[in-house]
Structure 1
């Protein structure tokens, strides 16, 4: 494994609490699953896996109330499968009929420094070396390249990223300590058709959230 660090910034963020069924309410701090998605947006291959180790909060936690237009329905999976099979089909939605307004409590003016380990899985790329993927990620991150735009919880909240080569020379995180309660860790895809959420008790310690390992007893289903 090799550890990398990304600085992620954005105007808004929403790391939605799953217990909120209708309205969008964010966790106080970025979740490990959202952090992993940002690394995977830069580089994802079947032969690698990202492990989030630490999330540093670089700016004070600030909130904003927003009301947004959303679409109430989704395109039918059956219609998508039919269109893929036939090469044609109607997949559009009439947003005038499906539009609805929802209130949200979001974070604003956010900045994080996220540390993650890149694990190479040799059996998924026989004959390759881990350095192949290390160099690939470093090259893409330094150039600002990504597979899709990293985002901060919701796709409309784009994240700007920077590869941090020497975290020791970077500014310190915020000086704040508090309990964050149970936070979404990630989804367990052991059963791909029905991924199960996993949680852990998060704590902000001097601006840092230390993330336990996936197989830790701290991770609960």
Structure 2
């Protein structure tokens, strides 16, 4: 049976943006399952073999907000396939300019208000869910994750909602003494669960057709400092259709 892999995660700033806010960024009071899964993926992921399933989020520091103004570029980053073609020299590189953006000579950035969190700290619980045909690999996958996490290794720097807010982590070994979360009780309401379809195996580089968003939500509550995260397949997770932009 899969065992929960536990991480203690902290950082100076975090922003887990509510999807209903289109322009200004306003963070949920605690980390979302999607952002937590991203931290695990940053340490170890094999999307063709398994995915991470969050089970619990323990809030080890009271949520505290801070108002920031940040410069953001207006253009979106290209798809991973486009970037790969740039790297292979098969397509001309088209950079994103923050200022003096040719050919219209207008600024490519905008300043936006952000209500972020400061000095966050969480204890995350998640387990590896192998895809069909890879169940026998479970012990090796778990051992590889623990080895990487215990040495501080990661594929890329984990972050807390936004890439400029780095996340620091340490592995909590089985049987280790753990601090009790503070008595925080919050009714968050509907919270973002994930932005991808977690019901199917992924690929290292999906085609543009497979990158369509698949938003899911769940009703989140913090009870005694803990958020219980339902399985993605559970009826407690509200899933939307994968629809391309019109």
Shared fold (TM-score greater than 0.5)? yes
How far off its partner does 1:26 sit? 0.5
Is the helix fraction higher in 1 or 2?
1
For the structure 1 residues 69 and 141, does the alpha-carbon distance in structure 2 shift closer, same or farther, using more than 3 Å as the test? same
For the structure 1 residues 83 and 176, does the alpha-carbon distance in structure 2 shift closer, same or farther, using more than 3 Å as the test? closer
Partner of 1:26: 27
Partner of 1:109: 119
List runs of 5+ in structure 1 lacking aligned partners: none
Asked if 1:118 corresponds to 2:128, the answer is yes
Partner of 2:163: 155
Q: Is the 8 A contact 1:182 1:202 kept in 2?
A: yes
Pairing of 1:185-196 with structure 2 (within 5 A): 185-189=193-197, 192-196=210-214
Partner of 2:95: 92
Partner of 1:137: 145
Query: Structure 1 CA distance, aligned partners of 2:87 and 2:176?
Result: 50
CA RMSD of the aligned region, Å? Answer: 2.2
Partner of 1:54: 56
Query: Structure 2 CA distance, aligned partners of 1:215 and 1:54?
Result: 16
String of CA shifts for 1:6-60, please: whole Å, max 9, x gaps.
0000000000100000001100110001100000100001212110000000011
How far off its partner does 1:129 sit? 2.7
Superposed structure 1 runs of 4+ greater than 3 Å apart: 75-88
How far off its partner does 1:195 sit? 2.4
Query: Structure 2 CA distance, aligned partners of 1:159 and 1:180?
Result: 23
List runs of 5+ in structure 2 lacking aligned partners: 100-106, 201-208, 240-246
Q: Is the 8 A contact 2:128 2:138 kept in 1?
A: no
Is the strand fraction higher in 1 or 2?
1
3-state DSSP class of the match of 2:150?
helix
Query: Structure 2 CA distance, aligned partners of 1:115 and 1:85?
Result: 39
